[in-house]
Structure 1
Amino acid sequence: MMVLRPPGVYPPQGDTALLCEVARRTDALLGARVLDVGTGTGTVALAAARCGAARVTAVDVSARAVLAARANALVRGLRLRVLRGDLFRPVAGEVFDVILANPPYVAGGRGELVPRHGTARAWDGGPDGRLLLDRIFAQAPAHLAPGGTLLVVHSALSGVEASLRALRRSGLRAAVVARRSEAFGPVMLSRAEALEARGVIGAGQRSEELVVIRAV
Structure 2
Amino acid sequence: MVVHTTVPAAPGRLLTLPGVYAPQDDTELLARALGREAIGPDTDLLDLGTGSGALAVHAARLGARVTAVDIARRAVLTARLNAMVARQRITVLRGDLTAAVPGRTYDVVASNPPYVPSPSVRPPRRGPARSWDAGQDGRAVVDRICASAPAVLRPGGVLLLVHSALCDPDATVRRLAKEGLETTVADQARIPFGPVLRSRRSYLRERGMLDGEDGEHMEELVVIRAERT
Aligned-residue RMSD, C-alpha: 1.2
The alpha-carbon deviation at position 202 of structure 1 amounts to 3.8
Whether the aligned pair in 2 keeps the contact of 1:38 and 1:58 (CA below 8 Å) is yes
**Cα distance 1:187–1:144, how it changes in 2: closer, same or farther (>3 A)?**
same
Structure-2 separation of matches of 1:150 and 1:109: 29
Structure-1 separation of matches of 2:40 and 2:48: 15
The alpha-carbon deviation at position 183 of structure 1 amounts to 0.9
SS in 2 for 1:4: strand
Partner of residue 131, structure 1: 140
Dislocated runs of 4+, deviation >2 Å: 28-31
The alpha-carbon deviation at position 30 of structure 1 amounts to 4.8
Q: Which amino acid aligns with 1:106?
A: V
SS in 1 for 2:113: coil
TM-score between both structures, scaled by the size of structure 2: 0.90
Whether the aligned pair in 2 keeps the contact of 1:4 and 1:41 (CA below 8 Å) is yes
Q: Which amino acid aligns with 2:127?
A: G
The alpha-carbon deviation at position 211 of structure 1 amounts to 0.5
Partner of residue 129, structure 2: 120
Matched, 1:185 2:194: yes
Whether the aligned pair in 2 keeps the contact of 1:35 and 1:56 (CA below 8 Å) is yes
Partner of residue 152, structure 1: 161
Partner of residue 35, structure 2: 24
Structure-2 separation of matches of 1:5 and 1:135: 26
Unaligned runs of 5+ in 1: none
The alpha-carbon deviation at position 2 of structure 1 amounts to 2.2
The alpha-carbon deviation at position 197 of structure 1 amounts to 2.4
Whether the aligned pair in 2 keeps the contact of 1:109 and 1:125 (CA below 8 Å) is no
Matched, 1:88 2:98: yes
Instruction: Choose the corresponding residue for 2:224, options 205, 213, 216.
Output: 213
Matched positions, count: 214
The alpha-carbon deviation at position 130 of structure 1 amounts to 0.5
Partner of residue 21, structure 2: 10
Whether the aligned pair in 2 keeps the contact of 1:107 and 1:124 (CA below 8 Å) is yes
The alpha-carbon deviation at position 29 of structure 1 amounts to 4.7
SS in 2 for 1:35: strand
The alpha-carbon deviation at position 28 of structure 1 amounts to 3.9
Higher alpha-carbon deviation: 100-109 or 201-210: 201-210
Structure-1 separation of matches of 2:41 and 2:136: 38
Unaligned runs of 5+ in 2: 1-11
Q: Which amino acid aligns with 1:77?
A: R
Whether the aligned pair in 1 keeps the contact of 2:190 and 2:221 (CA below 8 Å) is yes
